Homo-oligomer: A and B are copies of this chain.
């Protein structure tokens, strides 16, 4: 019996567990695989608000900026509690343009950054190469966004787990949850661990199961259309070529410690398939080679595949659901790492006070249920 049972030990589940435990709740995290399986440890870890302003609702941009502001404190608390580094880096990202279309895009991103009060600086091709000499000589310009920081998601997840466990969170790996239901005044979960099924009870349940939210998990909730968006990301290894994240409209290249360079990422509607493909790898390598020819001689260390949990409006669900005692923090799509700090803060607020502040209201669960009711009424 815990105050809170969290289904899913990814970045979102662990971040919420940490914040709830910090505020005094007893918390158990139930993770079917290993922490971060699915999307969290595959993520590139860039802490970058959306620049596709036409495509991103203002409420989500505000949440991203809110999370970005919370991030330094979030990292400090995790590292202080658990003693493990999150791999935080602040070199910024460098957009590189290849032609006039790219140049227009960089002007556009510059305006967005300025509107948000975030620093950004346009560069000539010569300035780009002065900053990062391995960038292709074909680069005609650039945009340096020094506020784009990053974490190493493969460090963040173990750091979060260590922080959780240091303050008393019970993190159970290899523990799947088959059912969640209300029973005798509390929530009852059916857990499966090593072939053994056993019940678990908690006052509140938080669903943070990523793409598996509606796959193999039975709850009283209506289905709201969670689907996976597959992402492939190639890990190269060798000589360190760049210090900044290098980006253009086709690809990003993210340097990590120890000579690791990530090239990401595809976005594919392929169901739950997690195999690397020829086409995905081909695209990432050729776009990466175009902007940073020096990758040619790097070793391929691995081809990683993740599944981004996505609702049809590409916005997460944060808050209460249609069943008392069941909460949801899911559907973070490409933004789980960036949004983890805000998600943890606001979910703790909602679950401990019962109040959803107005800025979180756009992410309510009922927006999908209302859709369904309207559709049913119309049909």
List the number of copies, as a whole number: 2
Interface pair A286/B297, CB less than 8 Å apart: no
> Quick check: is A114 within 8 A (CB to CB) of the other chain?
no
Q: How far is the CA of A299 from the CA of B270 in the complex (A)?
A: 12
**Which listed residue (B234, B275, B296, B303) contacts A279, Cβ 8 A?**
B296
A273 to chain B, nearest CB (A): 9
> Quick check: is A167 within 8 A (CB to CB) of the other chain?
no
Interface pair B289/A282, CB less than 8 Å apart: yes
Indicate with 1 or 0, residue by residue over A273-317, a CB within 8 angstroms of chain B CB atoms: 001111101100110110000011111100100000000000000
> Quick check: is A265 within 8 A (CB to CB) of the other chain?
no
Indicate with 1 or 0, residue by residue over A297-341, a CB within 8 angstroms of chain B CB atoms: 111100100000000000000000000000000000000000000
Chain A residues touching B, range: 20 to 34
Question: Looking at A275, A282, A288, which has the most chain B CB atoms within 10 Å of its CB?
Answer: A282
Interface pair A300/B276, CB less than 8 Å apart: yes
Question: Looking at A234, A276, A278, A288, which has the most chain B CB atoms within 10 Å of its CB?
Answer: A278
A197 to chain B, nearest CB (A): 34
A24 to chain B, nearest CB (A): 48
> Quick check: is A211 within 8 A (CB to CB) of the other chain?
no
Provided the pairs A300-B303, A303-B300 are in contact, do residues A282 and B279 lie with their beta carbons within 8 angstroms?
A: no
Interface pair B277/A297, CB less than 8 Å apart: yes
> Quick check: is A236 within 8 A (CB to CB) of the other chain?
yes
**Which listed residue (B234, B275, B297) contacts A299, Cβ 8 A?**
B275
